[in-house]
C-alpha cells in the first residue's frame, strides 16, 4: 500500500518570500505523484503532476515540484508567493496506471502581507 | 467550472435517514471516485468506478453504497446516517489510468 506524509500542517510566510511544502511518500512500486490545491469552500484542483520523464515539473502559476526517488520525496516550491496562494495544499500518490490516489493530510499555506 | 458536477451542494438531514449524492463526471472521463473529507480524518478514499464497474474500494462503511450508471454518472447512497457522517463528500473523475483527477465542488452533508 502507498502512503503520503506531509511534514508540515501549517506554513505561514510573508508575501514575496519563498516557500517549500514538504511531501514524502512510501511505495514499493512505481508511482505517480500529484499536488492539489484547495481554496476555501471549493473542491481540489490539480496543481501539477509527475508521471514520468523530467523529475522537475512546473505549474502555470509559478509552483514547481521535484521528484526525488532516492529520498521518496516530492516537495512543492515557489520562489515568491502571493496573497492569493493562501490555500490548503495536498500531496497525493497513486500506483502507476492504477487510478486510485492516496492523499496526505494537507498543508495550510497562509501568506501574510 | 471544473466539468465535474455534484448535487446537491448542501444537505442537512436527521440521524437514521438516507440520502443520495449525485455526480456527473467530466465529459470523456470513464472513472469516478468518491472521497470523504472531514477535519479529523482528512481525505479518505471511499470507492472507484470505471465504466460502470466497481474498480477499487477504500474505507467505505457497509451503510454506504455507490453505483455508476450507463451514462457514467454516479450516485453515492448513505443510509442509517450518524452524526459522524457529517463531512464534505467529493466526487472526482479521470480518464482511463491515473493521470490526475478533476474534482467536483463537493456536497456538504450535515447530520443533525
Computed on alpha carbons and rounded to an integer, the radius of gyration of chain B in Å comes to 13
Instruction: Calculate the average pLDDT of chain B.
Output: 94
The distance of A26 to chain B (nearest Cα, Å) reads 17
Per-residue b/e over B78-95, b at no fewer than 16 CB within 10 Å?
beebeeebbbbbbbbbbe
Q: How far is CA A101 from the centre of its chain?
A: 13
The span from the CA of A30 to the CA of A1, in Å, is: 12
Confidence band of B97 (pLDDT split at 50, 70, 90): low
User: Least CB-CB distance to A46: which of B35, B43, B100?
Assistant: B100
User: Up-side HSE of residue B17: CA atoms within 13 Å toward CB?
Assistant: 13
A43: chain B residues, CB-CB within 8 Å: 2, 4, 90, 103-106
Which string of DSSP letters, residue by residue, matches A69-81? TTTTEEEEEESS-
Cβ distance A96 to B42 less than 8 Å, yes or no, reads no
B108 at A interface, C-beta within 8 A: no
User: Up-side HSE of residue B44: CA atoms within 13 Å toward CB?
Assistant: 15
Cβ distance B98 to A94 less than 8 Å, yes or no, reads yes
pLDDT tens digits for range A12-71: 999 999 999 999 999 888 889 999 999 988 899 999 999 988 889 999 889 999 999 999
Per-residue b/e over B30-59, b at no fewer than 16 CB within 10 Å?
bbbbbbbbeeeeebbbbbbbbeeeebeeee
Residues A64, A81 contacting (CB under 8 angstroms): no
Q: How far is CA A112 from the centre of its chain?
A: 20
Instruction: Calculate the average pLDDT of chain A.
Output: 93
Residues A67, A61 contacting (CB under 8 angstroms): no
Share of chain B above pLDDT 70, in %: 98
Which of B7, B21, B42, B43 to probe the A interface (max A CBs under 10 A)? Answer: B43
Amino acid B98: pLDDT: 67
Q: Looking at mean pLDDT, say which of A94-108, B28-42, B60-74 comes out highest.
A: B60-74
Write phi, then psi, for A65 (nearest 5 degrees): -140, 150
B25 at A interface, C-beta within 8 A: no
pLDDT tens digits for range A58-78: 998 899 999 999 999 999 999
pLDDT tens digits for range B37-77: 998 888 999 999 999 999 999 989 999 999 999 999 999 99
Nearest residue to A103 via CA among A74, A62, A79? A74
User: Least CB-CB distance to A102: which of B31, B45, B103?
Assistant: B45
User: Least CB-CB distance to A97: which of B48, B97, B100?
Assistant: B97
Residues B104, B91 contacting (CB under 8 angstroms): yes
Cβ distance B98 to A101 less than 8 Å, yes or no, reads yes
Residues B107, B78 contacting (CB under 8 angstroms): no
Beta strand B107-111 with B10-13 is parallel
Q: Read off the pLDDT of each residue in B20-42 and give the average, rounded to a whole number.
A: 93
Residue B92 has pLDDT above 90, yes or no: yes
The distance of A17 to chain B (nearest Cα, Å) reads 28
User: Least CB-CB distance to B48: which of A42, A100, A103?
Assistant: A100
* Residue B26 DSSP class: P
Amino acid at each position: 500500500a502507498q502512503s503520503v506524509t506531509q511534514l508540515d500542517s501549517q506554513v505561514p510566510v510573508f508575501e514575496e518570500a519563498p516557500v517549500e511544502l514538504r511531501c514524502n511518500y512510501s511505495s514499493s512500486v512505481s508511482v505517480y505523484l500529484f499536488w492539489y490545491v484547495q481554496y476555501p469552500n471549493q473542491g481540489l484542483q490539480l496543481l501539477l503532476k509527475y508521471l514520468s520523464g523530467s523529475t522537475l515539473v512546473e505549474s502555470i502559476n509559478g509552483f514547481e515540484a521535484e521528484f526525488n526517488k532516492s529520498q521518496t520525496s516530492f516537495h512543492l516550491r515557489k520562489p515568491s508567493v502571493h496573497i492569493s496562494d493562501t490555500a490548503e495544499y495536498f500531496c497525493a500518490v497513486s500506483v502507476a496506471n492504477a487510478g486510485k490516489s492516496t492523499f496526505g493530510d494537507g498543508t495550510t499555506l497562509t501568506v501574510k502581507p | 467550472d471544473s466539468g465535474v458536477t455534484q448535487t446537491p451542494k448542501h444537505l442537512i438531514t436527521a440521524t437514521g435517514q438516507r440520502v443520495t449524492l449525485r455526480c456527473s463526471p467530466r465529459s470523456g472521463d470513464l472513472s469516478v471516485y468518491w472521497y470523504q473529507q472531514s477535519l479529523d480524518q482528512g481525505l479518505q478514499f471511499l470507492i472507484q468506478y470505471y465504466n460502470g464497474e466497481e474498480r477499487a474500494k477504500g474505507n467505505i462503511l457497509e451503510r454506504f453504497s455507490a453505483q455508476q450508471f450507463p451514462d457514467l454518472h454516479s450516485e453515492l447512497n448513505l443510509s442509517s446516517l450518524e452524526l459522524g457522517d457529517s463531512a464534505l463528500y467529493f466526487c472526482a473523475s479521470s480518464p482511463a489510468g491515473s493521470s490526475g483527477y478533476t474534482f467536483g465542488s463537493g456536497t456538504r452533508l450535515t447530520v443533525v
